Amino acid sequence: MAKKLVTPLSMVVAGNGTAYVSQNFAGLLTAVPPGGKPRVIYAAKKGTEVGALSASRGKIHFATTKGRRTALWSMRPGSRPTKVADLWQHERTKNPDGDVAYGFSDLDAACAAQMPPEVPAAYTGILESHPYATAVHKRRTYVADAAGNTILSVKPNGKVSTVAVLPPVPVVVTAEAAAANGLPACTVGHTFNFESVPTDVEVGKGGWLYVTLLPGGPEDGSIGAQGRLVKVKARTGKVREVASGFAGATGVAVARNGDVYVAQLFGGQVSRIKAGSTAARPWAEIMMPAAVEWARGDVYVSAQVLSEKPKGVVLRY
């Protein structure tokens, strides 16, 4: 449907079949009409990332990130965007994962002192926000904040609240993982709690939100495929794991029949989890897929998203 895009990391398909795709690092929002040519409908100021797309009631919702400043916006195609909420303000004042323990919990002081400077032995959630995905349901916009490790809820009046803090992803360090990442041998057999890094959120049935977790850590496969798909109860924040074993889970789509599709950025595929199952099966081999959407029986995927040149594409299956 479109090609020569720059980092198309987020996408939504409107009711009329138009796919709206972000070119995150170029700060662009692009419309791709069925059978038509892509056109830029919004360009942010230089140095501003645009992403986290969703659609509702004829409006496109998206987020911007510039340094630490993050915000949620909405716009009707052809009009100027309206700022809905200051997401950084919520992170700065609440820091929802500020008491969550990451890293190792049981290393002795001698072992912890051998850790490389870029890998803290243990720490708690820092002040950081990077809204990566949104979904709208009943006039609320749910935000997956990849840096804040949270799912947020934003009311139409701009009030932001925390739905859930996604739990850390525990990984037992193997000898191979320690060697590949420069960790001391004394860490082998111990559990490192990685940040969850939620990358997409979609609305399912029964008040559940489906959320992909990247998670944090090395992206070269040296710690294994640690990506997760979880469900979050929108009303209570309860978290349940649905499936695991993904290599860079960056996108999720929920079909009308309950099937769930997960994009694996580093696994080179989109997987499908049939309704009622917890087993993810390969569905399509795709180079560096990021966003996946289901609309009117079709599956839309953005791919080749991390190329140094503008080679990103939007595919429809």
pLDDT digits (tens, 9 = 90+) for 210-256: 999 999 998 878 899 999 999 999 999 999 999 999 999 999 999 99
- Can you tell me the mean pLDDT for 206-212? 97
Which two structure tokens, joined as six digits, stand for 25? 């690092």
Instruction: List helix spans (H) across the chain.
Output: 87-94, 109-112, 175-180
Distance (Å, whole) CA 95 – CA 92: 6
Closest to 166 (Cα-Cα) out of 224, 222, 233, 92: 233
Per-residue pLDDT band at 196 (split at 50, 70, 90): very high
Which two structure tokens, joined as six digits, stand for 5? 């895009």
Closest to 162 (Cα-Cα) out of 171, 147, 149, 180: 149
Instruction: Quote the pTM value.
Output: 0.97
Per-residue pLDDT band at 307 (split at 50, 70, 90): confident
Cβ distance 164 to 179 under 8 Å? no
Cβ distance 162 to 94 under 8 Å? yes
Buried b (16+ CB within 10 A) or exposed e, 205-238: eeebbbbbbbbbbeeeeebeebbbbbbbebeebe
CATH architecture of 2-316: 6 Propeller (2.120)
Looking at residue 177, its pLDDT comes to 95
Looking at residue 308, its pLDDT comes to 81
The average confidence (pLDDT) of the chain is 97
Q: Which long-range contacts (CB under 8 A, 24 or more apart) does 304-307 make?
A: 305/7, 305/8, 305/9, 305/265, 306/7, 306/265
Distance (Å, whole) CA 248 – CA 291: 12
Looking at residue 89, its pLDDT comes to 98
Closest to 100 (Cα-Cα) out of 123, 131, 128: 123
Looking at residue 248, its pLDDT comes to 96
- Can you tell me the mean pLDDT for 11-19? 95
Which two structure tokens, joined as six digits, stand for 76? 């009707």
- Can you tell me the mean pLDDT for 94-113? 97
Distance (Å, whole) CA 126 – CA 149: 10
Contacts for 287 with CB less than 8 Å, ≥ 6 apart: 268, 303, 304
Query: How far does CA 63 lie from the centroid of its chain?
Result: 12
Residue linked to tokens 């560096």: 288
**What's the full length of the chain, in residues?**
317
- Can you tell me the mean pLDDT for 111-139? 97
Per-residue pLDDT band at 75 (split at 50, 70, 90): very high
- Can you tell me the mean pLDDT for 177-192? 97
Which two structure tokens, joined as six digits, stand for 187? 């860490």
Question: Under DSSP, is residue 76 helix (H, G, I), strand (E, B) or coil?
Answer: coil
Question: Under DSSP, is residue 158 helix (H, G, I), strand (E, B) or coil?
Answer: coil
φ, ψ of residue 71 in degrees (nearest 5): -150, 155
